[in-house]
Each structure stands twice: as structure tokens, then as C-alpha cells.
Structure 1
Amino acid sequence: MTLDTLLSYASGLGISLVLTVFSLLFGLAGGLLAAMASLATSRWVSWPAIALVELGRGAPGLVLLYLVYFSLPQIGFTIDAVPSAVVALSIMTAAYTSEIFVAGFRAVGKGQWEACESLGMSYFSTARLVIIPQAVSVVIPPLIGWSVLLFQATSLAFAISVPELISRAYDFATSTYEYGLAFIVAGAVYLGVSLLAVGLVHQSLRLRRRVATH
């Protein structure tokens, strides 16, 4: 591999990471709101939220990507490839992480919801000030796992010509006919970044626990 090829891979990796970060930011916010809505006592709030979550979980990521990129322009919303990928991946993230947040909320226990209600606190104030801080330790491990899966899922953006990591690998493969090498290198990059991210997060959690115990 030449230096230009390695730089091309690095550029693709950068775009994959950008897709991951922005999809996480928007998706986690959406997932948290969807989780809070699905646990609401009003069926007018909870049922639509649950339906949207199941729709997002049931639709394949590639289908969501095509719907955003190809269908929205037909109703007057033209979105470029990179924002389309972010929107589709954010929807996936919101749908899957909402279940993680719901599990975290339920792990705290009903008693604390009832105690806050007896104190006159609103539903959203209870969630924001009491429940979410306690649920963080429960939701972090599965959220780390989802973040790794999301980083790997950015390869779907290749289907709409986003120049991410797999796209760069494909360009190298078609120009040299070294398909095995091209995708082995791409796979190694995905694996290396995933292991590094998980290791860094686990290390930070260990340091946090040590600080908390002293």
C-alpha cells in the first residue's frame, strides 16, 4: 500500500467517526426522550412513542438510509449523502437506545418515582433530577456496546456514496484488484478502533470508581 492509499483510508476513517459521533449525539437525545415518553402514564404519549421505537427497531438500517436519501426528495426535502446517513443512523440509535434507557429507568425502582410524585415533582423533573443520574451506571455498558455497533454500521453509508472507510477500501480494491487486502485492512481498522474505544471507556470507568471509593 502506498502513502496515498493509507491517507485515503485515514480520510474514510475520519468520516466514519464523524458519522458515529453526530449519530450518537442526536440518537441518544432521541432515545432518551422516547424512553421517557414510553414510560409516561398517559397512553396518548406512551403508545405513539412505543410505536415509533418498534418501527425504528424493525426497519433494517439500509432501508432507513434509502428512505431518507431517496424518498425525502420526492416530497420536497433534499438532503445530501452525509446528513442523510446521520439522520438514518440517528433514528436507528434512538430506537435501540430507548430500550436501554427504559431498562435503566426500571432498574431504579418504582418507589422513587412514587416518592417524587408525592413531593409534587413533575414527571420530567423526576426523570432529570432523580432517575437519570441513578440509571447512568446501568445504561453505560450497553451504550458502549451500541456505540461500537454504530461505528461499524456507518459502513452502510457506502450504499449512498458517502466516502467513508468501506468506500475508500472499495476504491482501492477496484483500482488494484486486491480485494482481499483492501477489505482485510478495513476490517482491521474497524476492529482496532472498536477495541481502543471500549478499552478507553472501561479504563475511564475504573478510574471513576477508584476516585469514588477514596
Structure 2
Amino acid sequence: MSDILGFWSEWFPDMLGGFAISLEVTAACLVLGIPLGLLLALGVQSRSAPLRWVSLVIVEIGRGTPALILLQFAYFGFPSAGLTLSSFTAATFALAWCTGAYTSEIIRAGLEAVPAGQREAAIVVGLSRLDALRYIILPQGLRVAMPALLGFSIIMLQASSLCFTIALPEVVSQAYIVGSNTFRYLPIFILASLMFAAVCIPGTILVSRLERRLGRHAA
């Protein structure tokens, strides 16, 4: 055991630097992807047929294509069209698209969960459709969607491990480098999994508590 702890302490700074990049790309894809999901959710519900169909196509491609394929497409496919992206930019683009596609359905479900009486009340008091959306529907719908959005954020942190396939120096890439240099793959991947667990497990507990609290308030 002391041998493993010594091995971990030796390589922990490199692994921590890789995990910081994992957190950065996750934060970037969420900052871009969740607002995109909101726009797509509104687009899918739009009365404009062209906007509705464009939104549906973006959502279905993002949901129907594995995140790994989107990563490969952004990093290796775009250069064929004359657009070369860094590994971080490609990872952000691909994961933000995936995030936007999935969160659009989460947000849309939250918006549709707003009672019809709230919408009717907005009309009765003379609010425009835009004002009703801003002041009545969005605040309540996003509140309903919040636990699912937080849960999806944890999934995207885990999905960031796929970025090792496009040479992003995140934590899994660092683990492969250490493993190839030392031939000790098992302990270094255990360390990588512990780093993910240190964030994901408390995050999962937080989401569960938030769901219970919101459930009590809804009742």
C-alpha cells in the first residue's frame, strides 16, 4: 500500500493538472451548451416551421450521434474543410453541441411542466407572449429542470474523459502517459477514477437533496 501511495504522490501533480483541464472543458461546454439548449427548446416550440425544423435537426443530430463521433468530427473532420481547431476548442464545440441537444429536451420538459393556469393568467393580465415567457414560464420551468441539468453536468464531466482521443491533455491522457512510462496502468487509472469520484459523488448527493427540496416545495 505504501508503494502505491508513494507512486500516487509522485504523479499527483501531473494528474491534477490534467483534471483541471477536464474541469475547464466541462465548464466551457456547459456555459455554451445550456444556453444553446434553452434556445433550441424555444425553437422546437416555435410557431415558425423553418425555425422549428432547424432546431429539431440540430437536437436530433446532437442526441443521435455519440459524443466520441462529434469529437472526432470537430478535431479531424473540420481540417478537411480548411478549419483547424485546437483540441480544447474542438472538445468544447463537440461537447457543447451534445450538451445543447440533451439539455434542450430537459428544459423543454421543464417549460411544459408549468401549469396551463399560469399561462392563462399571464394572458388575462395582459402580458405579451415574450413577457409571459420571461416572467412566468421561464423562471418556473427552469426551476423544475434544475436538478436534471445539474445531473447532466456531472455526466458531461465524466464524458470529458473521451477527449483523450483528440490529444487534449486532460486527466485520462495524463494517466495513459504515466502508464506508458511506468507500465503501472492499474494504480494510475485508480487515481484518475478517484479524482472523478471526488467531484461526481458529492455532486450526485447535492442533486438528490435539491430534488427532494424542490419536491417538497412543489407539494
If the length of structure 1 is used for normalisation, what is the TM-score?
0.88
- Selected match of 2:71 from 57, 65, 71: 65
Q: Are the aligned partners of 2:41 and 2:105 in contact in 1 as well (CA < 8 Å)?
A: yes
The answer on 1:99 being equivalent to 2:101 is no
The answer on 1:41 being equivalent to 2:44 is no
The answer on 1:21 being equivalent to 2:32 is no
- Selected match of 1:126 from 125, 129, 132: 132
1:202 Cα deviation from its structure 2 partner? 6.0
Distance in 2 of aligned mates of 1:115 and 1:48? 31
1:110 Cα deviation from its structure 2 partner? 3.3
* Residue equivalent to 1:5: 11
Distance in 2 of aligned mates of 1:201 and 1:145? 6
Distance in 2 of aligned mates of 1:125 and 1:157? 41
Distance in 2 of aligned mates of 1:26 and 1:52? 15
* Residue equivalent to 2:3: none
* Residue equivalent to 1:108: 114
Distance in 2 of aligned mates of 1:127 and 1:175? 56
Structure 1 counterpart of 2:13, one-letter code? L
1:199 Cα deviation from its structure 2 partner? 4.0
* Residue equivalent to 1:135: 141
Structure 2 counterpart of 1:63, one-letter code? I
- Selected match of 1:175 from 139, 156, 181: 181
Deviation per CA, 1:73-107, whole angstroms, max 9, x where unpaired? Answer: 22222210001100100000000000000000000
| Higher deviation after alignment, 87-96 or 185-194 | 185-194
1:156-167 equivalent positions in 2, closer than 5 A? 156-167=162-173
Distance in 2 of aligned mates of 1:160 and 1:92? 16
If the length of structure 2 is used for normalisation, what is the TM-score?
0.86
Identity level (%): 36
Structure 2 counterpart of 1:142, one-letter code? A
Structure 1 unaligned residues grouped into runs of 5+: none
Distance in 2 of aligned mates of 1:28 and 1:127? 17
Structure 1 counterpart of 2:41, one-letter code? A
Aligned residues between the structures: 207
1:117 Cα deviation from its structure 2 partner? 4.7
Distance in 2 of aligned mates of 1:165 and 1:74? 28
CA RMSD across the alignment: 2.1
Q: Are the aligned partners of 2:111 and 2:142 in contact in 1 as well (CA < 8 Å)?
A: no
Q: Matched residue of 1:168: which SS?
A: helix
1:49 Cα deviation from its structure 2 partner? 0.8
Distance in 1 of aligned mates of 2:116 and 2:57? 24
Deviation per CA, 1:6-64, whole angstroms, max 9, x where unpaired? Answer: 00010011000001111000000100000011111222221221121011100010110
Residues 1:78 and 1:125: Cα distance change in structure 2 (over 3 Å): farther
Q: Matched residue of 1:108: which SS?
A: coil
Structure 1 counterpart of 2:153, one-letter code? S
Q: Are the aligned partners of 2:8 and 2:188 in contact in 1 as well (CA < 8 Å)?
A: no
Residues 1:125 and 1:68: Cα distance change in structure 2 (over 3 Å): farther
